[in-house]
Structure 1
Amino acid sequence: MTDVHTVLVRSKNMRAIKGKNTKPELIVRRYLHAAGFRFRLHRKDLPGRPDIVLPKHRAVIFVHGCFWHRHPRCRFAVLPATRPSFWLEKLQGNVARDEKQIAALESLGWRTFVIWECQAKNASVLEGVAQEIFGKG
């Protein structure tokens, strides 16, 4: 199967993908802020630069994109038909790095939580995570 875009157009599209302040991340941040919680963003001194850091609760939240971080059994985590071996290696590397960063954070005493892109719009998922972290929603 060939790509529907030229190499230049595909390259431009891929460069436009953000790593910070993504739409799912903004949704989660808005929910937490409205619920009265205060947090820090992308702390460089922590392994993996977690998306959301709640120092008071010693908790971090990663808001993962389903495609980029291989959300199991998710319809958005489909392997591209073009250059599948390249993508499989790249995406498996992302997953391995995530696991390493989470282990490092937990060894430093941080509680880690992952909210997937497909879950970010689901208020009950956000409420459940908030209750698990803070004991309230």
Structure 2
Amino acid sequence: MVDVVDRATRRRMMSGIRGRNTKPEILIRRLLHLHGFRFRLHVRDLPGKPDIVLPRYHAIVFVHGCFWHGHDCPLFKWPGTRPDFWREKIRRNQAKDNLVRESLLANGWRVGIVWECALRGAGKNIEGVAQSLSEWLRSVAPLIEVRQ
């Protein structure tokens, strides 16, 4: 499939996509705050600069976009242009995600991953996501993955 915009326009559009303070991330922060959790944001001293760090619970929450992290869900669709570039890019993102997760777990951190599809689309269940995170934070489970 041919791109509907020229290369310069596509480049400008893609460079405008933020990596921090995205809508799903802000939504998760609001939900956690409403449930009484306090946290820090984007701590640079930790592997992967986690989106949300809850020091009291020794827990970290990443809010992953389904496209950028290659999630197998209805929101993810491979781009039609430059498929080799995108497959390699997303494969590298996934490999880095795995390294960061294993490093944090090895250092005693608990890791939570919330996928964008849990907050958007047909499987949207925002209160269910908040409840799952809240229960996980109050437990001792090392890992949780919230998806559609």
- TM bucket normalised to smaller: over 0.9
User: What is the root-mean-square deviation in Å for CA atoms of aligned residues?
Assistant: 1.0
Q: Report the TM-score, using the length of structure 2 for normalisation.
A: 0.87
> In 2, distance between residues paired with 1:98 and 1:126?
23
Shift of 1:126: 2.2
2:68 aligned counterpart, secondary structure: helix
Matched, 1:103 2:102: yes
Partner of 2:44: 44
Which amino acid in the other structure matches residue 92 of structure 2? G
> In 2, distance between residues paired with 1:35 and 1:133?
11
Within a 5 Å distance, the mapping from 1:52-131 to structure 2 comes to 52-72=52-72, 74-120=73-119, 122-131=126-135
Structure number with greater CO (CA < 8 Å, separation at least 6) is 1
Which amino acid in the other structure matches residue 89 of structure 1? E
Among the aligned pairs, what percent are the same residue?
Answer: 48
Shift of 1:76: 1.5
Divergent runs of 4+, >4 A: none
Shift of 1:69: 0.5
Which stretches in structure 1 are left out of the alignment for 5+ residues? none
> In 2, distance between residues paired with 1:62 and 1:126?
14
Q: Report the number of matched residues.
A: 134
> In 2, distance between residues paired with 1:104 and 1:49?
12
Which amino acid in the other structure matches residue 111 of structure 1? R
**Which structure is higher in helix share?**
1
> In 1, distance between residues paired with 2:35 and 2:106?
28
Which amino acid in the other structure matches residue 124 of structure 1? G
Q: In the TM superposition, what whole-angstrom CA distance separates every residue of 1:9-65 from its partner, at most 9, and x where no partner exists? A: 101100100000000000000000011110000000000000000000000000000
> In 1, distance between residues paired with 2:34 and 2:93?
31
1:66 aligned counterpart, secondary structure: coil
